[in-house]
Amino acid sequence: MRILLDESLPRKLGFLLVGHHVRTVQQVGFSGLANGKLLTAAAADFDVLITGDQNMEYQQNQAFLALGVIVLVAASNKLESFLPLVAELLRTLDGFVPNTFTSLPKQ
């Protein structure tokens, strides 16, 4: 799966997503794009955006979503806060439904 990591997440998280092609927002030149523009730009080359932005789901119309979004909910934006979510994230990616929002951990 082609994955884009949002700039709110630690870059090193991408190394833990074994079996997937992961790039960061910074690597592809999308830094600073607002959420709507970021989703539009990302849809051309990626299957899913992984973000820590818990408001994104409520700011975007899912009917027009051109790629999937996974929101990681953690205590901070440090890598250590996301480590407990990696196994669940990998399972979610394996069965991910395109063009949907998913939050992890699941509430």
pLDDT for res 45? 94
What is the C-alpha separation between 40 and 43, in angstroms, rounded? 5
pLDDT for res 93? 95
Domain boundaries, the chain: 2-104
pLDDT for res 34? 84
Low-confidence ranges of the chain (pLDDT < 70): 57-64, 107
pLDDT for res 106? 77
Decide if 7 contacts 42 (C-beta within 8 A). Answer: no
CA-closest candidate to residue 7, choices 25, 30, 27: 25
The whole-chain average pLDDT of the chain stands at 90
pLDDT over 70 percentage in the chain: 92
Instruction: Provide the whole-model pTM.
Output: 0.92
